[in-house]
Amino acid sequence: MRKLSLALLTLCLLPQLALAQLSPEDTGLETTGEEVYGSIDDITIGSWVGIYIINPLMSLVGVIFLVLMIYGGFLWMTAGGNSSQVDKAKNILITAVIGTVIISAAYAITNFVFEALS
């Protein structure tokens, strides 16, 4: 029991050791980031929309896709030979893939066009 509690204590405190790092000012990462990506003051409305609206929405699409794939797979695995439930599961899986491909293609095309224009 003592070894188990020592192991749990070590696992709980181990991430704290990773926090013993230098601040970004000490490492020079802030200066490098500003040289590569520009200052936060240089952000345009398009960049702001892309960073704070489009990227989180694309992440949400990915999460919804994952949930639909798990749900469709669960329905299929628990169908027990019921063909209507298998068809429902197939329909969910197919529409999830098609929807994700359409959204990803729209994002890629839009990103390509705006990169070409700028």
Q: What is the pLDDT along the chain (118 residues), one digit of tens a residue?
A: 677 777 776 766 666 655 555 565 566 777 777 777 777 677 788 778 888 888 899 999 999 999 999 999 999 999 998 999 999 999 999 999 999 999 999 999 988 988 888 7
Q: What is the dihedral of CA 12, 18, 19, 22, to 10 degrees?
A: 170
65 with 107, same domain: the answer is yes
81 with 27, same domain: the answer is no
Closest CA to 77 of 90, 65, 91, 64: 90
96 to 61, 76, 81, 90: CA distances (angstroms): 10, 15, 23, 10
Q: What is the dihedral of CA 62, 68, 72, 73, to 10 degrees?
A: 40
pLDDT at residue 66, rounded to an integer: 96
Domain enclosing residue 24, as ranges: 1-42
Report whether 79 contacts 92 (CB < 8 A): no
Number of domains the chain is built from:
2
Report whether 75 contacts 95 (CB < 8 A): no
56 with 102, same domain: the answer is yes
Report whether 68 contacts 96 (CB < 8 A): yes
Predicted model pTM: 0.64
